[in-house]
Amino acid sequence: MRKHLLNIFRFGIKELRILLGDKVMMILIAWVFSFGIYIDATSASVEVHNAPIAFVDQDRTTISRQLSSSFYPPRFKMSGLISSDEMDAGMDAGRYTFVVVIPSGFEKDIVSSKVADLQLNIDATRLTQAGIGAGYIQQIITKELADFLQTTEMKLPINIVTRMKYNPTLDSTWFGGIMAIINYITMISIMLSGAALIREREHGTLEHLLVLPVNATEIMLGKIWSMSFIVLVAVIFALLFVVKGILSVPLAGSLFLFLAGTSLILFATASMGIFMGTIARTMPQFGLILILTILPIMILSGAFTPFESMPQALQYLMYLLPNTHFVSFAQAVLYRDAGFAVVWIDMLWIFVIGMIFFLVTLAIFRRSLEKG
Amino acid sequence: MNIVARLKGVSHHYGDVVAIDNITLEIPAGSMVGFIGPDGVGKSTTMALISGVRKIQSGTIEVLDIDIENKKNRNSICSRIAYMPQGLGKNLYMSLSVYENIEFFARLFQQDKKERESRIELLLQSTGLLNFKDRPAGKLSGGMKQKLGLCCALIHDPDLLILDEPTTGVDPLSRKQFWTLIDHIRQNRSNMSVLVATAYMEEAEEFDHIIAMDDGEILFRGTPFELKEKTDTDNLDEAFIALLPEEKSRGHEKLVVPKYEDKNEDYAIVAEGLTKKFGDFIAVDSVSFKIRKGEIFGFLGSNGCGKTTTMKMLTGLLPQSEGEAWLFGKLANSGDIEIRNNVGYMTQAFSLYTELSVYQNLLLHAQLFHIPKEKIQKRIKEMLERFYLNDYRDVNASNLPLGIRQRLSLAVAVIHKPQMLILDEPTSGVDPISRDSFWKLLVDLARGDGVTIFISTHFMNEGERCDRISLMHQGKVLDSDTPKVLIEKKGKDTLEEAFIDYLEDATQEKIADTDIKLMEDSLHKHKEFSLRRLFGYSYRESLELVRDPIRLTFALVGMVFLLFIMSYGITLDVEDLKFSALDQDKTPQSRDYIQNISGSRYFVQESDLSSQEELDRRMKSGEIIVAVVIPPGFAKSLLRSESVDVAVWVNGAMPFRAETIKGYLTGMHYDYIKHLAKQTLGYVPTLSAANIEMRYRYNPDFKSLNAMVPAVIPMLLIFVPAILMALSVVREKEMGSIINFYATPVTKLEFLIGKQIPYVVVSMIGFFGLVALSVWLFDVPLKGSLALLSLAALLFVITTTGLGFLISSFAQTQIAALAATAILTLIPTINYSGLKDPVSSLEGVGAIIGTIFPVTYFINISRAIFSKNVDFSGVYPDMLALLIAIIVITLSSMMLLKQQEK
């Protein structure tokens, strides 16, 4: 037993030495876990941000001018007054997400206490802005009209007070920063371990190892622990210096718990990487397999779109991947300060799925070695 | 005397390593000139420089009276030179047939169909390859590969033929045939100059002129006869050693192998009827032998004759198809760790970790063999001394000269003091002195320590040093005995001649049963841009693509798979949200309010909450995302017309989801109030002075699928084409066939467009498939014109394949290309191209990336044509942007792409 552990340890040290000598890879890792995360976090913004809005003002009165001047950044970007012909062309070309049409006689109707009609055109292909933005526009117009008529807002019998937990200002940086880390953990760990295996095969060193008194499990575990270690160090750096330091995202939960979970997911993803490196015979094949796997993982595991709203069948499918559980785990720990009592089930899932990946990979890896 | 090449003060170095040191040299025309010397002395570099494949660092080189430093000049003589790089079939395409390979080269030299066909026919006939013209190059033997390489080099009647180690690793018969062929050609084209590099000294005996090199310097120039006379030796091997400076040859003496005394010991290795089949191909055909303990046993044969496969079966690396082998009486493939502890194995290629130092490599292996801790340092020290590695203790293996590397490999193989050594071509490419000192170590091990040695080699003089040898050819053992007996059996003087005799018997081929016919001179046309060359590359790339069905299906099926999963998966409909209520009032009114929310399709009601603590806990655990808290006295306040606050808690971790939930709740809240007012007042009061009519255009049902599909298609059309393209170029760099781009008259633009066309075609097939799937399977309406969308898609895939090409022009390895393509395309496409958030809403660096990233524009076009039925006037600015992207990317590629090696 001690012999095996020693071998695993030494293989890992060897991998680390080699990786540290690979400048391109090291620069890549350093880049994604610093600037990559910074850019991702700061570029995503609140959903309705600088939404282009334009007005077709057929009324040309005080009230219509007041309405059209009440939209300003950061939520909206006023793109000016346009004619009704320009409206269609502009919306077709995607220049405006919203166009408000104020018909002639609008002010007259308002003043004479009639209910005046307004038209709001919304580009419904812009899913993220359309719904939320329309709500904001409605509110702004209602308020402006009330101001104009100098009516005090009608007192409603029930008021709704919405409170956002865990991210009171709905700051996208919080979400973007953490999700970027999660994405890069997956991407880098799969790429590193898969490529390390293919490189060993191409250089002939894999074959060389097989005539030594070592076994496949040791080779694989050596790769897994060393690659996980590198990524783990990078994650600690990114969390403390980039996310917490520069982006000043408050990390609610226990860092220790998060890193424990990260180690589990790294075990799973590094196994996945070796799995792909084993079934791919050449680097182009590995490239295609990588894209085919990584893209769904990045987009569908809940870090990009709301997971619970996906089709049920797809949700079940995604539950088979450890990353889905990891996203849920990470959100619970980092945003909601959830403790082990809450997230143990996610961690168990990650471990179980990771273990299955590991064992299947080990079997295939062994067989591929025997075939030569 | 005419001069074909003039070198003046030429030096070349790779990093700190000096490859050639200030060489000045004139090479006579119309003759056969050989560069001799071991690996790594600068032969290959000199030849690559003369051929124009490598960039000159310092000094001047004139070839065919033209200074080749200048690119224009070089191009003008490119079509008069042929260059065949080192390595078996290095510049050939393994999936292409013999005929297709030559045809590709003919196109690069702009020969039309008629000329091409007659020339190829003639060449195939003269080289005896005619019967194999449809066989893929990858399935040819080493000797045939080299003949094919020669055909490809001769297709355009070069005035200067440069051959870099054309016969290394080829069996002696094929080697003889090769040189006979060259002789015939030279008889017919007496003005052709031939430059050859070789590591076999005996071959150089036949050359007109030899140039001996060592350490980047020229030791000698003249005829072979002059060399032998000068050094007073009778063969070139010894003459070369005599040429070396004192400090190198010091301590070198003729190696004498003490005779093996047969003490009738046990057999160390026994093989019986070992056979290995790969599919139909029989790599090793019932090979049997017995090796006694302490014996040096040799396997002699060409590359690919089954030596390596046999050794791998012995070490248990490969399971045999038939037969059995025993090492020290134990079955070889039993996986017994004890066997591994008793065997040292040295693979053909250097297979230690080049990234680790000599000491680290030794340490790692000592540890892996579990040499007791206290002994490790002593053992390493012993190895460093015995194998003269002390000076290199902390040098990385990648920086070691070949001879030292081999010593290190041997040291590693014996660090655990094994009883047996299996060595697969350990001296290939090593200079004669190092080879001799290596053999001395072997003899020491065998005779001194009684280690059994099983070695393979293609050097005949090494075969003569073995106690017994087996001659191998195409998986079979031709004969097996002591070298002396084998020579006597055939009545020859040398082992080489005897081996050739055996081969002729086995293959029924003679050295020269071919006749070389004369060819009319090809015109050396030079053209700046040629469609034929461009087509040559396209056609070849298409053939390779079609012959690799795995890659092709993976690409196309992968696109379809991703379209499915992503289009269904990327849903921005926020629904099925877990919702719960904390009803502190528990009246019909409060239940009514909750019912109003929970009844909507957006929410799924979970069990009720009983306290604020429970709310906190369950939201923390992720059980609920939204919670409504109704205060006590809710109904009473309503009755008294007092204002009452309802609190809503939302998990705000995902801002987009939270905002949407807030919008839903506000809407439902107002609906409820209206409903309430109608009940109590009998009419609905106006809450606003204006009635805002909402027109959701293009996608009135707010269907995610309709919005996502037009955006997922562009996404797939960047990843797959960019990766395929990038890897196809870098692969050529790694495999070595990129040499053809350097050495032939093909221009950068022809190369770029030529390689791009097949991938553009494949991508367009993918595009049509994706559109068909979207329209027919997903029922996503294509409102605009398919022709217009296709045109835009064409521009887009030219952009994305171009992007792949651009990445490949600076990436050196496939893994770097892969990583760079993944990071440079994946992240910007997902985050900054308007897939989810419109580019206009981005900030900071993301906004800049979004603006210059071509995907942004095609997503715009795709959405406009799919959902909005926009015509050309609406999308031309975006198409213009794509066009600009194509121009910028192509120009950058042209600038970054190097047509010479450094």
Which chain A residues are Cβ-neighbours of B666 within 8 angstroms? 135, 160, 162
- Indicate which of B692, B859, B873 best probes the interface with A, i.e. most A CBs within 10 Å of its own CB: B692
- Does B679 touch chain A if contact means CB atoms closer than 8 Å? no
How many angstroms separate the CA atoms of B605 and B581, rounded? 8
Verdict on whether the full-model pTM lies above 0.90: no
How many angstroms separate the CA atoms of B11 and B24, rounded? 9
Which two three-digit tokens encode residue B790?
A: 């296709």
Q: What are the DSSP E strand ranges found in B482-559?
A: none
Produce one character per residue of B396-419: b if its CB has 16 or more CB atoms within 10 Å, e if not: bbeebbbbbbbbbbbbbbbbbebb
Pick from B713, B398, B414, B457: nearest CA to B564: B713
- Does B518 touch chain A if contact means CB atoms closer than 8 Å? no
B52-70 pLDDT per residue, tens: 888 999 999 999 888 888 8
- For chain A, how big is the Rg over CA atoms in Å? 28
CA of B150, closest CA in chain A: separation in Å?
28
How many angstroms separate the CA atoms of B590 and B585, rounded? 6
Which chain B residues are Cβ-neighbours of A126 within 8 angstroms? 707, 838
Which chain A residues are Cβ-neighbours of B704 within 8 angstroms? 127
Residue A45: is its pLDDT beyond 70? no
Which chain A residues are Cβ-neighbours of B662 within 8 angstroms? 162
The residues, ordered by sequence, that sit 6+ positions from B131 with a Cβ below 8 Å of its Cβ are none
Low-confidence winner among B571-575, B602-606, B721-725 (lowest mean pLDDT) = B571-575
In chain A, which segments carry CATH 3.40.1710.10?
51-149
Q: What are the DSSP E strand ranges found in B532-657?
A: 577-583, 603-605, 626-630, 644-651
Per CATH, the homologous superfamily of domain B577-681 is abc type-2 transporter like domain (3.40.1710.10)
- Does B851 touch chain A if contact means CB atoms closer than 8 Å? no
CB–CB of B569 and A205 under 8 A? Answer: no
- For chain B, how big is the Rg over CA atoms in Å? 37
- Does B58 touch chain A if contact means CB atoms closer than 8 Å? no
CB–CB of B643 and A167 under 8 A? Answer: no
How many angstroms separate the CA atoms of B312 and B347, rounded? 9
Place B772 in a pLDDT band, splitting at 50, 70 and 90. Answer: very high
- Does A91 touch chain B if contact means CB atoms closer than 8 Å? yes
Instruction: Return residues 72-91 of B near A (CB < 8 Å).
Output: none
Q: State the pLDDT at residue B890.
A: 94
| End-to-end CA gap in chain B | 32
Q: State the pLDDT at residue B597.
A: 86
Q: State the pLDDT at residue A76.
A: 84
Same fold, B1-80+161-171+190-250 and B267-507: yes
Which two three-digit tokens encode residue A257?
A: 């718990």
* Closest partner CB to A115 (pick from B645, B691, B877): B691
Q: State the pLDDT at residue B61.
A: 92
- Indicate which of B564, B815, B880 best probes the interface with A, i.e. most A CBs within 10 Å of its own CB: B815
B365-412 pLDDT per residue, tens: 888 888 888 888 998 998 888 888 888 888 888 777 777 788 888 888
Per CATH, the homologous superfamily of domain A51-149 is abc type-2 transporter like domain (3.40.1710.10)
Residue A269: is its pLDDT beyond 90? yes
What residue in A sits closest to B620 (Cα-Cα)?
Answer: A336
CB–CB of B844 and A77 under 8 A? Answer: no
Which chain B residues are Cβ-neighbours of A346 within 8 angstroms? none
Domain ranges of chain B: 1-80+161-171+190-250, 83-157, 267-507, 531-567+702-896, 577-681
Q: State the pLDDT at residue A47.
A: 63
Residue B350: is its pLDDT beyond 70? no
The CATH number of domain B1-80+161-171+190-250, selected from 3.40.50.300, 2.40.50.1040, 2.60.40.10, 3.40.50.970: 3.40.50.300
Residue B304: is its pLDDT beyond 80? no
Which chain A residues are Cβ-neighbours of B691 within 8 angstroms? 115-118
Which two three-digit tokens encode residue B685?
A: 């009061």
Instruction: Return residues 578-607 of B near A (CB < 8 Å).
Output: 578, 593
Residue B424: is its pLDDT beyond 90? no
Which chain A residues are Cβ-neighbours of B353 within 8 angstroms? 14, 18, 205
- Does B737 touch chain A if contact means CB atoms closer than 8 Å? no
- Does B867 touch chain A if contact means CB atoms closer than 8 Å? yes
Q: Regarding beta strands B626-630 and A116-123, do their DSSP bridges make them parallel or antiparallel, or are they unpaired?
A: unpaired
CB–CB of B574 and A309 under 8 A? Answer: yes
CA of A119, closest CA in chain B: separation in Å?
5
Place B764 in a pLDDT band, splitting at 50, 70 and 90. Answer: very high
- Does B551 touch chain A if contact means CB atoms closer than 8 Å? yes
CB–CB of B697 and A132 under 8 A? Answer: no
CA of B871, closest CA in chain A: separation in Å?
9
CB–CB of B831 and A44 under 8 A? Answer: yes
Q: State the pLDDT at residue B674.
A: 81
DSSP result, A262-289: HHHHHHHHHHHHHHHHHH-SSHHHHHHH
Which architecture characterizes domain B267-507 according to CATH? 3-Layer(aba) Sandwich (3.40)
- Does B723 touch chain A if contact means CB atoms closer than 8 Å? yes
CA of A151, closest CA in chain B: separation in Å?
10
Which two three-digit tokens encode residue B756?
A: 């791009």
Pick from B488, B424, B436: nearest CA to B462: B436
Q: Give the SS3 label for residue B653.
A: coil
The residues, ordered by sequence, that sit 6+ positions from B817 with a Cβ below 8 Å of its Cβ are B726, B727, B729, B730, B807, B808, B811
Helix (H) / strand (E) element for B445: namely none
Helices (runs of H) and strands (runs of E) counted in chain A: 15, 5
Q: Is A217 exposed, middle or buried (0-12, 13-18, 19+ CB in 10 A)?
A: middle
Query: Average model confidence (pLDDT) for chain A?
Result: 84
- Does B836 touch chain A if contact means CB atoms closer than 8 Å? yes
What residue in B sits closest to A304 (Cα-Cα)?
Answer: B570
Residue B760: is its pLDDT beyond 90? yes
Place B883 in a pLDDT band, splitting at 50, 70 and 90. Answer: very high
How many angstroms separate the CA atoms of B832 and B817, rounded? 22
SS (H, E, C) B327-381: ECCEEHHHCCHHHHHHEEEECCCCCCCCCCEHHHHHHHHHHHCCCCHHHHHHHHH
- Does B278 touch chain A if contact means CB atoms closer than 8 Å? no
Which chain A residues are Cβ-neighbours of B707 within 8 angstroms? 124-127
Low-confidence winner among B44-53, B624-633, B697-706 (lowest mean pLDDT) = B697-706
Cα torsion A22, A28, A31, A33: sign? negative
> Contact at 8 Å (CB) between B78 and B743?
yes
